[in-house]
Amino acid sequence: MKISVRRFIPFRKRDIVEMLLQKQPYDDDARFRQFCEILQSVFHFDYHRRLEDLKDAYAPLNPDRDTRAPVGIAEASSADFARQMESLLERANYDRLTDADLQRAFEENSLFKLQLHVDFDDFEEVLLFTRGEYQKQETVSQLFGLWAQSVSFSNFDRVVIYVKLKADASLQQRPDRTGITMLKLFQNVPKADIEMLFPNTRLGMRMIDKLIIGVPALAGGVVALSTKIGASMILLGALVGYWLGLSAEPVELSRATALALIAGIAGLGSFIWKQFSNFKNRKLRFLQSLTENLYFKNLDNNAGVFHRLVDDAEEEECKEAILAYSFLLRSEQPLTRQQLDAAIEQWLQDQWDCTIDFEIDDALDKLRKLGLVSGEQTLLALPLVEACEALDQRWDNYFTETDYL
């Protein structure tokens, strides 16, 4: 299957190194591996600092916090947590889902045959980011499993949702969670079912589900009223009318009539209870379907999410820098930014059946900050031996310099 994942590079950084060496071995493969290892260490140091900043900013918001805030020691401000998260997600090659995209997703038919409702008035702040959108096909059963249909739909590899609930948010199941922030990471989410990820999602019934319950109930009610229950209801109506003074004609209530009336009322109650049970059971099956899907799609929650995202961002940054440096190093002549971008994208498409929009500006920006690339209109890579020495010197001086990446 052809992979199309926008900016995200769907290979591990170790695999990228091996893929590059397979493409064309270097004069010194061990030196290139050493370069990649030192480069990864540099990025790891920088992202460790980012992780600590995120932990400090999130601490006052964390609903799962198990530590206390010492009296007299001010905590870090949480005001910029959302801004830091957006920056991190951008570096991890996530794309923000716009309001228009979200509205279109809400209007699409649910793959899981559910009707979901989200009240955005419950939220003070909402961030929704996705990565790895592609077309997927699945076989869906129809007509109680009697017929199977193949459907094609848009699917996301990863979805990150950050919401800050209002203090007066209407969470029916968990009223104690109002006013908190929630951060969640999901995998393999159909675009049409993005609503199920929100904490205040309410489950409703589609028209077809209402008809499946309502039509048999109506037919059964007509039959019941015209047979056993009907006569008892006429008698009950006559009694009520006489007691309320609406009818002057008294109703004789013999033992047999009373038993028939009780049987009729019991039959009516049994019929109503059966239809109510059918409704509740169908709704419970829908809730079970929703719960099962969320269980298998949830990857992480709250603080665990940005720990994972920091690792993702570090991976993406490393892969972009390694690819850009490697292609420049191997080029027999200087390349322009456009030529370098096209060469990397073409190689991934032709050799690895992977279509992406390579982040050439981010890659070159990182390499320039590290002093591994020179030139403006045309670009040259620092020779491999000198590049290893430059990275090694930067690593040695980390605790004396203040201008990190």
391 within domain boundaries:
yes
Question: In which band, very low, low, confident or very high, does the pLDDT at 4 lie, cut at 50, 70 and 90?
Answer: very low
Kindly state the helix (H) or strand (E) to which residue 322 belongs, with its residue range: helix 303-330
Model confidence at 365: pLDDT above 90: yes
Nearest one of 364, 361, 329, 335 to 20, comparing CA atoms: 329
Nearest one of 370, 383, 386, 375 to 330, comparing CA atoms: 383
Q: Are 61 and 320 in contact (CB under 8 A)?
A: no
What pLDDT was estimated at residue 76?
Answer: 59
Kindly state the helix (H) or strand (E) to which residue 204 belongs, with its residue range: strand 202-204
Nearest one of 78, 36, 75, 71 to 57, comparing CA atoms: 78
**Alpha-carbon span 176 to 48, nearest angstrom:** 34
Highest mean pLDDT among 20-34, 194-208, 314-328 belongs to 314-328
Range with lowest mean pLDDT among 39-53, 65-79, 210-224:
210-224
**Alpha-carbon span 214 to 203, nearest angstrom:** 18
Measured in whole angstroms, the distance separating CA 325 from the mean position of its chain's CA atoms is 33
327 and 270 in a common domain: no
Q: How many CB atoms are located within 10 Å of the residue 250 CB?
A: 9
One DSSP character per residue, 126-187 reads EEEEEEEEEEEEEEEEETTTTEEEEEEEEEEEEEEEEEEE-TT---SS-GGGTT-EEEEEEE
Per residue, what are the HEC states of 73-94?
Answer: CCCCCCCCHHHHHHHHHHHCCC
Residue where one domain finishes, among candidates 198, 222, 257: 198
Q: pTM of the entire structure?
A: 0.71
Q: What are phi and psi of 209, to 5 degrees?
A: -70, -40
Kindly state the helix (H) or strand (E) to which residue 298 belongs, with its residue range: strand 298-301
87 within domain boundaries:
no
For residues 196-207, average pLDDT: 69
Nearest one of 352, 382, 345 to 11, comparing CA atoms: 352
194 and 101 in a common domain: yes
| Packing angle, helices 360-369 and 337-352, rounded to 10 | 120
Question: In which band, very low, low, confident or very high, does the pLDDT at 177 lie, cut at 50, 70 and 90?
Answer: low
Q: Two tokens at 72?
A: 């007299």
| Of 238 and 56, the one with more pLDDT | 56
298 within domain boundaries:
no
What pLDDT was estimated at residue 311?
Answer: 93
186 and 103 in a common domain: yes
384 and 319 in a common domain: yes
The CB-based long-range contact list for 18-21 (8 Å cut-off, 24+ gap) reads 19/351, 19/352, 20/322, 20/323, 20/326
59 within domain boundaries:
yes
| Of 283 and 36, the one with more pLDDT | 36
Q: Are 289 and 193 in contact (CB under 8 A)?
A: no
Rg (CA), the chain: 32
402 within domain boundaries:
no
Q: Two tokens at 106?
A: 């809400």
| Of 205 and 150, the one with more pLDDT | 150
Angle (CA) 137-7-370 rounded to 5° is 155
| Of 154 and 228, the one with more pLDDT | 154
307 and 275 in a common domain: no
Which one-letter DSSP state was computed for residue 379? B
In the chain, % of residues over pLDDT 90: 27
390 and 318 in a common domain: yes
**The one-letter amino acid at 306:** F
Residue where one domain finishes, among candidates 285, 312, 339: 285
185 and 215 in a common domain: no
88 within domain boundaries:
no
What pLDDT was estimated at residue 404?
Answer: 45
137 burial level (CB within 10 Å; 0-12, 13-18, 19+) = exposed
Q: Are 194 and 159 in contact (CB under 8 A)?
A: yes
Model confidence at 1: pLDDT above 50: no
Which residues lie closer than 8 Å to 9 by C-beta, 6 or more apart? 16, 93, 316, 319, 320, 323, 348, 354, 356, 358
For residues 308-323, average pLDDT: 93
**Alpha-carbon span 405 to 402, nearest angstrom:** 10
86 within domain boundaries:
no
Residue where one domain finishes, among candidates 250, 285, 320: 285
167 and 111 in a common domain: yes
**The one-letter amino acid at 316:** E
335 within domain boundaries:
yes
Model confidence at 231: pLDDT above 60: no
> What range does the domain containing 244 cover?
207-285
What pLDDT was estimated at residue 180?
Answer: 77
The total number of structural domains in the chain stands at 3
**Alpha-carbon span 64 to 19, nearest angstrom:** 41
211 and 194 in a common domain: no
Q: Tell me: the pLDDT tens digits for 97-115?
A: 887 877 777 776 665 556 6
**The one-letter amino acid at 76:** A
